Structure 1
Amino acid sequence: MSPTFNALTSSLPFHTNLRRFLWVYFQLEILWATCFTDTEIKSALKELPKDLEEIYHCCVKRINFQDRRTLKVLKWISFAARPLHIEELREAIAFDLQDTTWDAERKPQKTFVIGCCANLVIIDPIDNCVRFAHFSVKQYLDKGENRPIPGYPGNKVQGELECGEFCVAYLSFSNFGLLQGKRSNEMATSKAPPAFWVRNRSRKQVSLRFGTIRTVKTPDTTEFKFLHYATTNWALQTRHIDSKSSVWAKFEKLATCFNETWNFHPWKPGGLSLDSHIHGLFGWAVKEKHLPLLSIGRKSEQGFGKICDLPLIDEYLPALHFVAKFGHVNIVSFLLEICDINQQDGDGYTALHHAAMKGNIEVAKSLISKNGVNVNVASKLQFTPLSQAAMNGHYAVTKLLLGNRAVLLESQDSEGRTPLSWAAAKGHEEVVKLLLHRRAKLESKDFAGRTPLIWAIANMCQPVAELLLKKGAATESKDNHGQAPLSWAARTGNETLVKMLLDKGANLESKDIEGRTPLLWATANRDEAMMKLLLDKGSNIESKDTSDRTPLSWAVEDRNEALVKMLLDKGADPESKDGDGQTPLSWATENEHEAVVKLLLDKGSSIHSKDSYGRTPLSWAAENGNETLVKMLLDKGSDPESKDGDGQTPLSWGTENEHEAVVKLLLDKGSSIHSKDSYGRTPLSWAAENGNETLLNMILDKGLGIGSDSHGRTLLSWAAEHGNQTLVKMLLDKGADTESTDKNSRTPLFWAAENGHEAVVKLLLEKGANAESRDVYGQTPLSWAKVKDNNEVEKLLCNKGAKTKSKHTLKRTNANTPRPRERSIPRYNLDR
């Protein structure tokens, strides 16, 4: 550029909102292309365009539209299915629709493609695709009236069609051999559609050959750059082609020609047969709403008639069902001529089911108007079109179906639910009104015994519930679990519905089959506000379920301190017992909720109450090892010597479960170490069996207590059996008798020898245990060691003079190893 040009343009007083690169770019391009002297530059600067639209006008004026390739460039950039690579675009503009052979020499240079449009188009350096210089160029070209470029498509549909026609012309070139190959003898007769065939169908029959061909080879896409785009998009961009198109005949041939060498169709066949190819075409055309393709494929009862009711490829739905589901009204009209309107898919749905399910009213109208339509076909789950429309809240379709006299208003599905039940459950108020207006049964029950009112309440559909109550729905109708609407309302926590039901006279004390009242449900759901509402309305605070559980019992088990306090403040009885004899305090102690225990104790709950198994709160606390609760109960005066049904004391429970801190507390409170349970087990015997030296020392420090249990077994016997060397030594040091015998006359040495505890055997022998002692069966410790192949023990015994022979026969019975006790108290089921 000349110095004068630079000086003049740099001093331009551009308005702020026009100071943009794009505006400057086009201005400079115009000046550079049209001004050749300083005088011309000065003159042009005085008349510069004020906005982009004026600039684009100037650019368009510079374009040579006498060259048809220029218009093609603009069309392809505007309406191609995707941006074209520069090499694709060079081919796309290098031929005309009437051409029959590809001529590579007609391809223009890149510079022409970019330069022919007055800088409105550019090559993207990232992917080498050709695009408009700015998105506003497309907006400018698409202006409605006074379109600036003659021959430029008036709308997107027309633009896409013109691109599609060029794709068809390209694929029809003799270079590819798609239209010249020898076809198979399979034929199909199709009605050739004129323009706007849907509205003005011709009855003229034209013979169309559906067949397969085989070309020599697959074309080379490196030679034919535009081929990939053409094969991918020729069908997609010809959805609106008709017989007036100059390439209609070529389009028709492409559609009916199936190439065995390479597939240039966007659809894929389900197999190799001609019917499979036709099925593929049919399915693709249906899904893409391609009426021209469908018109070509249509033939009298023979072509689509074979496959129209089959599921589409890659779909589980037949064609009519598919278009009904997605609302393709114009395709429905076509398919109704050839498809079975009552055909059921894999789920048992008809096309009308799908239209009703999706609320496609226009499709539903077309289907219902067809002669022979069955409006009551039931699916596999027994859904009718009406139940689907009602379930999904499609008022217009529901109304349409109800207008058919044959429709079953009270049809029941596999759960026994009616259309009204579904509409109520989903909260579709207008549909509910419509069904009730048509006299749908207000009290219809499904197989679970639920009415529409119960469903509306259960799903918290308040407006629908109000409507049903106004229409007279029964407030005491119970489902199969005995739950009335009020119970459901209490469960869901809807206070408005509860008040409404109570105003309608609902029974506040209505019980379900498990004896639960609305108050019990509210308690189980931890709904304090609902509980207060029900109690304020007079609900019985002492109501019991079938397990004799009160609201307080449930609140305690749930560890909900706030609810417990509220119920106690309202006068709930802290001494009420359930079916297992447990009081709220017993539950709280078992569940180790210290705050609730304190609340109950402060309200005077009895610390001595026993459940059906004879267990006190202290017994539960001791078993759980909760030192805080044990101390709290002992401080309140709980009896540490209380025995349960198996004769176990709290100390016994604490020792059995090895809760050392609890055992210490109980011992400090004077718990007897000599107390025996129903099996003769003392706390010390439990400590011995568990091998807990800390507990043993703790108990032994309170006194020996090493006598025998009800089976004659001493602590030494137990320790010897389990091989606890440390404990055996401790007991021996405490003076335990090595010759103490159980009911079968077995000494501790017997038990140690039988179980192969070499170190314990050695300890006992060193303390003078008799190696020759015999049990009631005449057996010796050595006999048992031999039976168990305890060789080292045998040697020890023999070294102490044990004889290797016995004149008695070894006889083992269950009586020689009695277990002191198997727990007879069933563990409490906390999941009740």
Structure 2
Amino acid sequence: MDGVSVASGIAGLITLALQVSGAIAIYVTSIKDRAKNIEELHNELLLLSEVLSRLRDFLTSERAKGRAFDTNSVLQKAISDCRDRIERIGEKLKPLEGGPISRAIDKLKWPFEQREVNYLIDNLRRYGQTFHFAVTVEGCDLLARTSEDAAKGLQEMLEVSRKITELSAQMGLSNEEAAKRAAQIQEIIALIPMLTSTALDVTELTHAARMAELREQERRTTDILDWLAPVSWLHKHRDLQLRRSEGTGVWFLQHRDFLAWVQADTVEHDLLCVGGPGAGKSILCSLIVDHLRSTFKDPNVAVAYYYYDYSDQQSQNPINLARAVLRQLSMNGNSVPSAVAEFYQRTRNDVKDQTWFHDLLSIIRRVAATYTQSFVIIDALDEADIKSQHAGLFEVLDALRDSGRAKILATARSHVLNNTMRFNNPVMVDIIANSHDIRLFLARTIEERPDMADVLDSKLKEQILETLSQKANGMFLLPAMQIRTILDQVTKADVRRSLTHLSSNLTEAFQSTIRRITSLPAARKDLAFKALMWISHARRPLRATELQQAMAMRLDDDDLDLDNVASVRTIVDCCCGLVQVDSESSIIRLVHHSLEEYLREHDHGLFDDASRAITKICLKFLALDYAKQLPFKNRHNFHEALDLLPFLEYAATEWGFHASNVPIAEFRHQATAVLNDSLALIAIARIRDRHSFDFRKWKEKAWHWAYSGGAGISIVATFGLADLLEILVNENKQNLCLDARDVYGSTPLHEAAMQGHDRVAEILIGHGAQLLDRNYGSATPLYLAVAYGRLSTVKFLLGFDHAQVNTPGPRGLTPLHKATEQGNVDIVTMLLQAGAVVATQDNFGMTALHLAARRGYLSLVRLLGVAGRAVGVQDKDGLCALDHAATGGYTAIVRYLLENGGNMWHKGHEAWTPLHRACRGGHTDIVSLFLEHDADVFAADRKGNIPLHLAVRSGNMSTVRALLDHDPQLKREQLFARDRKGSTPRLVAFFTAHYDMHKYLRAEEWALLGTEPSDANILTNAIERGDLEAVRVHLTNNPDGLNQCDENGQPPLHVSLQENQRDIVNFLLESGASIESVGFHGWRPLHIAASLGNLELVEVCLQHGADVKSRTRTRQTPMHKAASSRSASVVRRLIEAGADPNDRNDRGMTALHVAAHQNDIQIVRLLVNEHGMDVLAKDFMKLTAATWAERSGHLEVLAFLRREAKKVKSAARVVADRQEDTLPSSTFGLQMMHLPDTSIEDDIEEIEIEGEMDALLVSTEVSA
């Protein structure tokens, strides 16, 4: 190892020392009683950083040039050991999870005892002495040796120093320098044994670091999954599992149609399970999910489910369906898919509108495509709001089907199935409660009532089972209700009588149960009917505690009387089997959707005033003094307070929806009292926005909004309460405020437009609300109406100021851009009729036609193409709509644009034609279409790539064949075309590890040249066939061929590694093949194994002595190859073998730069967290790893690197602030330490790494 490589490792150690010293600096001023003790350690780290800086500079100077360091040298071990010890200090100083250090500074505890600090300081001084000793030619040479050799040399040097000291004393001369020298050598000698013992601890330390990384990864995975869909959304499956009787449903799992659906190799049809109410479809779904999961344990097979629920239609929209399914698709591995992580980083704070939904569908397509097979189970389509969710449901299913591997099973009642449901060749299976299953269910229910053992003898029990199963009429629900009535009897005679008076259908069963409730004592009857009212009319499922508090509140009470709260058991018992509590979610619900339909729709007169009663109770809660105290609480205390009064959440978010069904006179005074109370208003806002990601900013804006005089109007506008709005307007005519801005900057008109409340919008505009007002996101009311698909509201608003139709909003998008982005044909048509300009460009220079082409909306492309002349308009990257269509692979759109003025020869800023883009994406149909239109196959981009070069990079063989077979006259010139680096398409195939394509192109070249494989290629062909015997025979006859290169410059060992022919690899090595044989472009066997990310092959190479420091012609080490292989295990193994991740290639790139460019967060974290790589290090083009991540659009990697860079800079600032006070005058100034500048030049030319990394062309797909 050379001095420059050692210096690179020191740079990371300097960064680490500064970070830890910065963390210690906080304690200096915070822990007064230990300040001196803490400051000593702080100063020692600063001094060590300074000495390391001098050593780094020395090792890169001319004086140290040419020096080689043993892999196990004292200096290398000292650097490694020093890093480990400083990391230990840093680990102990880490703050508790949950907040920054500043928030807990008054609670900080210094984690070290005095004796520990003394020990740490002594060790750090030893390292400092060692590193200072190495800043000389003599000392450097000595410490470059192994421990044993260095110890001998140091002992000899120590003896010399002692003799000099004795002679100086005898001569009466000063011996101070010699004494210092001797002391320094003694410190180093004392350190050497410690280095040996520390080496034994490396495995333990590495394991601890890995465990910490795993914990961090698990935390981040949980954060992302919970953001996608709270785990509570999946609780219903667990509840159904618990209710399922063992042994039921087996008949379905053995049904021929189900078996055919499961076992089919292709996705030939969807399976629809159709049954009447109460047939047990949901329970059956839970069984199907569990069966599939137990059958397919392969991580490449996914099983996802979604249960529609009649009581939760408000939240069960297509967006949340997509989120729930994607969460489950993302749960099969140890970490979430990178596409999901990037999507989270990019959009976690975005509004979840239709545009976000379409982006979500795109991510589902990408993730679903990673599975060899996926099963998606959708239950109870009849319980979904079909009118509002129908289209979105099938958009999600179509996104899943796009992978070509998704099998769909759905359950529903027959009446909801119609021709508009886009199922794929559906096969229907009738679901009727099986008699055997009913008996199992009833037997289990009886077993759960041991108190009935004396009443039900075996004969009577059999009579119950037989009677109920025969009269079930194909339902589980009916006998489930009947058995409850039977088990309430007290004698055998009562049981027999009840068996003769069984209900024959569900309506009769419900009516019978209602009569039983009516006959209860008054208090219990009232409690039951109140519970049934709340559960059946609530807008979302209520948790048991919410229901208890809602029922306990009385309108004439000043506060909630907790003594008035009924127990959950009492509520359930009083309802006589009509309600149940889910064990996982604690939600209390009706036993079935059929009961909800009965309670809502039948003319039984039970709950005629439900909306009024619920509205008034909600407003009563919002007026409580307890609620008005919430705005003053910190985040933690606020959540605790809300836990104590959970119904407040429902009251704040749902009261207005109930009020919309109640005459205004019934609740006017209650509502205006709340809406004119600023504290009540901010409490409502606090509850509604409780998950705001930046509470401090929210607080300032919310208080201003609540006291603006228009907050009440804003809330009323959100709910669409027009009559109440008119009252508030009339009451506040003198000081009418219609521009009160909530925390998002939205006015009441924004809220009305977003929610689609036309009458409210009309009232607001009539009293002066401004149509062109923009919220903090630059959106006008019209823009929001478009964004949320409010067709009637868009039409209404367009009847006013026409200037709004072309007013730009977020990112320069006009309403037309937004409607196009969402694929909304009706709104696009309406906007065009209102005068929307098609050629208007957003901040990225994109027109609506660009967006339509980019998202694949053919109907909109046609509509916009007719309406405006925007086909040739270029965005800021010089791209036209045709470029985006070709990039996305939308053949029909490409054809349309070509026929309507699209320029096939146009080039963007990177000089790619549309044909280049289609080739890079591997879109064979589009490539063929361009070729039919005589596209130029020799058009070269700025790197000299013709389309064939990019087709090779795509890895799509059919695309390559399409280019070569289109015109045989052009084949030769394409095959031998060279880019600016001199690479032909075949060489690019080799560099990008598309070895099958490399062989194909090689064969095509041979065919054109009329040559046969030479003798040099006979062995290569045998290896490629995997013919070990032929290899053995050939080498027996031609022993010199063992290390000879074939026509491609590849030795046999290289070819066998590329082909992953392990038996041949072992045979060649046993036969004496050189593990350091040099192949094409200077690659060695370890480079190939590392580039494949194949740990087993890497291990074979290392066992045979492969050099981890070997370099290709462009100075790529095996570590560079591993960093682009997406194999963290290979990276770790190479480092353990002595590879230095700080090694640079001829572009100045380290392994961290490469991993950041390749979007491998796992390797990036490993290199930074475990090996202390400098996140601020720049390559020769002045690009940091973060810059590479940013330019490549890898947002998760970028966020991580920016956080790490911030830590380094913060530590550096602490050092700078304390430099004069903490450093003795005799020490070297920290001005010698130059932290890298992280500024980024705007126009940095794109770089390609040895032709192996994909071109950085994400700039052509700028996110809208």
Normalised by the shorter chain, which TM-score bucket? Answer: 0.5 to 0.7
Once the two structures are superposed, the pairs formed by residues 226-305 of structure 1 within 5 Å of their partners are 235-236=655-656, 238-240=658-660, 242-243=662-663, 245-258=665-678, 276=707, 278-291=709-722, 294-299=725-730
Once the two structures are TM-superposed, the CA of residue 152 in structure 1 deviates from its matched residue by 2.4
Q: Which residue of the other structure, out of 892, 907, 930, is the alignment partner of 1:478?
A: 907
Query: Are the counterparts in 2 of residues 361 and 397 from structure 1 also a CA contact under 8 Å?
Result: yes
Distance 1:568 1:130 in 2: 69
User: What amino acid is the match of 2:484?
Assistant: Y
Change (3 A) 1:137 1:60: farther
Aligned to 2:852, the other structure's residue is in SS state helix
CA distance in 1, matches of 2:509, 2:520: 18
Pair 1:144 & 2:592 matched:
no
| CA distance, structure 2, for counterparts of residue 125 and residue 484 of structure 1 | 59
CA contact (8 A) 1:78 1:138 kept: no
Question: Which residue of the partner structure matches residue 1005 of structure 2?
Answer: 568
Q: What is the match of residue 941 of structure 2? A: 512
1:355 equivalent in alignment to 2:785: yes
Deviations along 1:387-430, one digit per CA (max 9) or x if unpaired, are: 2222332211111111023x222112233322222211221100
Structure with a larger share of its residues in helix: 2
Query: Which position in structure 1 is the counterpart of 2:514?
Result: 60
Shift of 1:105: 14
8 A contact 2:853–2:893 mirrored in 1: yes
Q: Is contact 1:475-1:505 (8 Å) kept?
A: no
Shift of 1:366: 1.9
User: 2:468: which partner in 1?
Assistant: 15
Describe how 1:409-488 pairs up with structure 2 within 5 A.
409-488=838-917
1:163 equivalenced with 2:614 (yes/no): yes
1:750-787, Cα deviation, whole Å (9 max, x unpaired): xxxxxxxxxxxxxxxxxxxxxxxxxxxxxxxxxxxxxx
Structure 2: runs of 5 or more not aligned? 1-450, 473-478, 629-640, 690-698, 1012-1041, 1052-1073, 1083-1106, 1111-1247, 1253-1264
RMSD: 5.5
How far does residue 514 in structure 1 lie from its aligned partner after superposition?
3.6
Shift of 1:26: 0.9
Residue 452 of structure 1: how far off its partner (Å): 1.6
- The answer to whether the 8 A contact 2:852-2:860 is kept is yes
Deviation at 1:558, TM superposition (A): 4.8
C-alpha separation in 2, matches of 1:391 and 1:2? 64
Q: Take 2:546 and 2:920, find their aligned partners in 1: how far apart are those partners?
A: 70
- Aligned counterparts of 1:658 and 1:74: Cα–Cα separation in 2: 77
Q: In 1, Cα distance between the equivalents of 2:914 and 2:807?
A: 33
CA–CA distance in structure 2, aligned partners of residues 110 and 5 of structure 1? 29
- TM-score of the superposition, structure 2-length normalised? 0.36
2:771 is equivalent to residue 341 of structure 1: yes
Higher relative contact order (CA 8 A, sep 6+): 2
Look up the equivalent residue of 2:977 and give its one-letter code.
S
Partner residue, 1:598 = 1046
The question of 1:497 aligning with 2:926 is answered yes
Q: Give the alignment partner of residue 535 of structure 1, picking from 926, 949, 964.
A: 964
Q: Secondary structure of the residue that 1:506 maps to in structure 2?
A: coil
> Is the 8 Å Cα contact of residues 874 and 880 (structure 2) preserved in structure 1?
yes
Structure having the higher Rg: 1
Letter in 1 for 2:999: A
Aligned equivalent of 1:25? 484
TM-score, structure 1 as length reference: 0.53
Match of 2:29 in 1: none
**Cα distance between partner residues in 1 of 2:878 and 2:514:** 76
Q: Aligned partner of 2:814: which letter? A: T
In the alignment, the residues of structure 1 paired with residue 553 and residue 988 of structure 2 have an alpha-carbon distance, to the nearest angstrom, of 85
Determine the C-alpha separation between the residues in 1 that align with 2:751 and 2:841.
25
Supply the distance in 2 between the matched residues of 1:558 and 1:43 (Cα, whole angstroms): 81
| Preserved CA contact (<8 Å) 1:526 1:563 | no
> What are the Cα deviations for residues 713-764 of structure 1, in whole angstroms up to 9, with x where unaligned?
xxxxxxxxxxxxxxxxxxxxxxxxxxxxxxxxxxxxxxxxxxxxxxxxxxxx
Aligned pairs for 1:619-658 (under 5 A) are 626-627=1076-1077
Separation in 1, partners of 2:734, 2:907: 57
Q: Deviations over 1:526-565 (max 9, x none)?
A: 5444333323323313334445544355445556442552
SS where residue 306 of structure 1 aligns? Answer: coil
Contact 1:519 1:534 in 2 (8 A): yes
Other structure's SS at 1:543 match:
coil
CA distance in 2, matches of 1:75, 1:350: 44
> SS of the counterpart of 2:925?
helix
Moved more, 458-467 or 11-20: 11-20
Instruction: Give, as a single letter, the amino acid of the residue that structure 1 aligns with 2:1047.
Output: L
> Residues 18 and 436 of structure 1: is their aligned pair in 2 closer, same or farther, counting only changes over 3 Å?
same
What amino acid is aligned across from residue 837 of structure 2 in structure 1? L
Q: Work out the CA distance in 2 between the residues paired with 1:328 and 1:278.
A: 21
Whole-angstrom distance in 2 between the partners of 1:131 and 1:160 = 19
Percent identity at matched positions? 15
The whole-number CA distance in structure 2 between the counterparts of 1:61 and 1:387 is: 59
Distance in 1, Cα, partners of 2:849 & 2:947? 26
Q: How far, CA to CA, are the matches of 1:286 and 1:119 in structure 2?
A: 41
Give me the whole-angstrom Cα distance separating, in 2, the residues matched to 1:132 and 1:601: 73
Counterpart residue identity of residue 614, structure 2? C
Q: Partners of 1:65 and 1:79 in 2: how far apart?
A: 19
Q: Deviations over 1:600-626 (max 9, x none)?
A: 4799xxxxxxxxxxxxxxxxxxxx994
8 Å CA contact retained: 1:324, 1:355: yes
1:609-645 Cα distance to aligned partner (Å, 9 max, x none): xxxxxxxxxxxxxxx9944669x9xxxxxxxxxxxxx
Q: Is 1:79 aligned to residue 531 of structure 2? A: no
> In the alignment, which residue of structure 1 is the partner of 2:348?
none
Distance 1:502 1:332, change over 3 A: same
Match among 399, 424, 434 for residue 829 of structure 2: 399
Change (3 A) 1:293 1:346: same
CA separation of 1:329 and 1:490: change in aligned 2, threshold 3 A: same
User: Structure 1 residues 277 and 342 mapped into 2: Cα distance closer, same or farther (>3 Å)?
Assistant: closer
The 1:445–1:67 alpha-carbon spacing in structure 2 relative to 1, beyond 3 Å, is same
Contact 1:88 1:226 in 2 (8 A): no
CA contact (8 A) 1:375 1:384 kept: yes
Query: How far is the alpha carbon of 1:437 from its aligned partner?
Result: 1.7
CA shift in 2, pair 1:25/1:411, >3 Å? closer
Show CA shifts across 1:162-214 (max 9, x none): 222345578889xx8999xxxxxxxxxxxxxxxxxxxxxxxxxxxxxxxxxxx
Distance 1:423 1:360 in 2: 20
CA–CA distance in structure 2, aligned partners of residues 343 and 137 of structure 1: 47
Residues 321 and 4 of structure 1: is their aligned pair in 2 closer, same or farther, counting only changes over 3 Å? Answer: closer
Other-structure match for 1:786: none
- C-alpha contact (below 8 Å) 2:682/2:702 kept by paired residues: no
Deviation string 1:42-100 (CA, Å, 9 cap, x unpaired) is 776644444564344334335259969845641343325575879986994796x7x68
| Contact kept? 1:321, 1:351, Cα under 8 Å | yes
Comparing 160-169 and 294-303, the one that deviates more: 294-303
Q: Give the conservation status (yes or no) of the 8 Å contact 1:324–1:354.
A: yes
Residue of structure 2 aligned with 1:551, choices 980, 985, 1003:
985
2:303 matched residue in structure 1: none
- Provide Cα deviations, 1:463-505, integer angstroms capped at 9, x if missing partner: 1001112224232223333332222222222222222222222
Q: CA deviation at 1:5?
A: 8.1
Aligned to 1:796: none
C-alpha displacement of 1:432? 0.8
